Structure 1
Amino acid sequence: MSSKKKNKKRQDTELRSQPSSAGRDVAEIKIPEGISFSFRYYQQDKNKFSISDRDAKYLASLLRRLRDLSQLKAEEVINNQSKSLRCHIINWQDTTEPNGFGIPNEDQLVNIPYQFQISANEYGRVHGFFSENVFYIVWLDPDHNLYS
């Protein structure tokens, strides 16, 4: 019985020793252009910008908006004149947060802060900044508290 076990080799061991691309043609895939979204600097602990009491409809609308905007380039979002998007620069002096986002190294990270609507005034706004074609979401503002 023990001699049978010694000669029997596990099948998955053979698979692991093969190169991952063995026998496969690797296709070149062009990644579509468009913005991406990052939550790297998202501040969930600020009560003023909390979404903890929001329902699934809010989250679904937010995700749809982010998906739709990801089809556009940063300059297309920034220059879009649509009343349903209303993307524009945040002027901190006109807000309830005159010191900005308050993230570490903000003066080096944030060139220009922006905001855009989730939907036509129904679900509030998203605040953040662009770095190339990535929009870093810092605050979700369902109650328009940045200007209250």
Structure 2
Amino acid sequence: MSRKTNKKEKESKRTRSIPKAELPNNIKIPNRTIFPQRSQEEIERLRKEKIVFSFRFLDTKHEAFNCGGISDGWFLHLFDNLTEISKLTMSEFEQQRRHYDLHRHDFGKTAHHYKESIPEHVLEQVSPENMIQFRLSRSGGRVHGIRYHNIIYIIWLDPHHNMYPDERYGPPKRYPAPLRPYEELEREIEKLQKQLEEKEQENKMLFDMMAEMEEKKSS
């Protein structure tokens, strides 16, 4: 037996002796921390920073918070308020509770809970006092979200006060969700396609009538 043959056999045995690495089925990969712990020094620094808004968890598909049935101007009202709030620190925002009515949720009185839109592993990282709401104006609706130092993660936009239905605002209101520009185009295309099919059917009927008339003339 040649040296080359012995070398190949040894390499083959070595390869067979190394098992293929596989991830056991019972191992769970931990979820990434969304809200990491901060040092006291960093917390104090962040409280001096201006508020920023995150739309990472925004849910506009929830039937109670899809922003249906409102005017376009409401969105301008929303962004006007977000713009003004973003000029404040969290401490300053808290001092204006009277104007914005900033407070934590009492989920024992709400019609909905964040768990309807937010994964459980995310909510487990949030303390109840940081699940907050604030109003745009007395009749302009509310914004519901999670506060994390100087960041407010917006979850639901609530122009109809569906989170806390009461006598002032009446029962929960449900409206079809407004269409996005591409959805409006899709509907317009469907409408035009239907009109085209109808015209094609009309043309076919006319051509059939003309052909029938020609046959009668020639007979």
Compute the TM-score of the two structures, normalised by the length of structure 1: 0.70
Q: Hey, what does 1:62 align to over in structure 2?
A: 78
1:56 to partner: Cα distance: 2.0
Q: Is 2:123 the partner of 1:106?
A: yes
> What secondary structure sits across from 1:64 in the alignment?
helix
Higher helix share: 2
2:59–2:117 contact (8 Å) kept in structure 1: no
* Structure 1 Cα separation of the partners of residues 91 and 116 of structure 2: 22
Whether contact under 8 Å (1:92, 1:100) holds in the other structure is no
Is the Cα contact below 8 Å between 1:33 and 1:71 reproduced in 2?
A: no
Cross-structure match for 1:39:
55
Match among 131, 136, 140 for residue 118 of structure 1: 136
| Aligned-residue offset at 1:73 | 1.0
**After superposition, where does 1:1-148 map in structure 2 within 5 Å?**
33-82=49-98, 84-98=99-113, 100=115, 102-104=117-119, 105-109=122-126, 112-119=130-137, 121-148=138-165
- TM-score normalised over the length of structure 2: 0.48
- Higher fraction of strand: 1
* Superposed CA RMSD: 2.0
Separation in 2, partners of 1:70, 1:101: 27
Higher relative contact order (CA 8 A, sep 6+): 1
Gapped regions of structure 2 (runs ≥ 5): 1-47, 166-219
Paired with 1:100 and 1:79, the residues of 2 have a C-alpha distance of 29
Q: Distance in 2 between matches of 1:56 and 1:76?
A: 30
More moved, 138-147 vs 94-103: 94-103
In 2, the alpha carbon distance for the partners of 1:110 and 1:129 equals: 9
What's the offset of the Cα at 1:97?
1.8
The structure whose Rg is larger is: 2
What is the CA–CA distance in structure 2 between the aligned matches of 1:110 and 1:137, rounded to whole Å? 16
Secondary structure of the 1:145 match is: coil
Q: Choose 103-112 or 43-52, whichever is displaced more.
A: 103-112
Gaps of 5+ in 1: 1-31
Per-residue CA deviations over 1:30-65 (Å, capped at 9, x if unaligned) read xx9310001100011101012133222100100000
Identity of aligned residues (%): 30
Q: Distance in 2 between matches of 1:115 and 1:101?
A: 16
Query: What is the CA–CA distance in structure 2 between the aligned matches of 1:101 and 1:73, rounded to whole Å?
Result: 29
SS at match of 1:43: coil
Structure 1's 99 and 126: CA in aligned 2 closer, same or farther, altered over 3 A?
A: closer
